[in-house]
Amino acid sequence: MNNIALIGDVHGHTQSYLNIVNMFEYSVQLGDMGFRNNYAALDNVDYDKSKHVFVPGNHDDYDHLPEVALKDYGMHKLGGFKFFFVRGAYSIDQHLRTEGKSWWGNEELNYHQSAKCLEEYEKTKPRVVLSHNCPDVASPFLVSHHMKTSSTGKLMDMMLRYHKPQYWIFGHHHISTTFKLHGTTFRCLNELEFVRVGDIING
Domains in the chain: boundaries: 4-200
Residue 2 has a pLDDT of: 79
Residues 130, 30: Cα–Cα separation, whole Å: 7
Residue 144 has a pLDDT of: 57
Query: Who contacts 50 (Cβ-Cβ below 8 Å, separation ≥6)?
Result: none
> How do residues 26-68 score in pLDDT, each as one tens digit?
999 999 999 999 998 887 787 888 899 999 999 999 999 999 9
Q: What is the mean pLDDT of the chain?
A: 93
Q: Pairing between strand 81-86 and 73-78?
A: antiparallel
> How do residues 112-127 score in pLDDT, each as one tens digit?
999 999 999 999 999 9
Residue 63 has a pLDDT of: 96
Higher pLDDT, residue 10 or 49: 10
Report phi then psi at 136, rounded to 5. -60, -30
pLDDT band per the 50, 70, 90 thresholds, residue 170: very high
Residue 45 has a pLDDT of: 80
How many CB atoms sit inside 10 A of residue 180's CB? 9
Above 70 in pLDDT, residue 145? no
Residue 62 has a pLDDT of: 97
Report, as an integer, the average pLDDT of 189-198: 97
Q: In terms of Cα–Cα distance, which of 181, 191, 185 is closest to 169? A: 185
Above 70 in pLDDT, residue 147? no
Above 80 in pLDDT, residue 7? yes
4-200: in CATH 3.30.70.870: no
pLDDT above 90 as % of the chain: 86
Residue 49 has a pLDDT of: 83
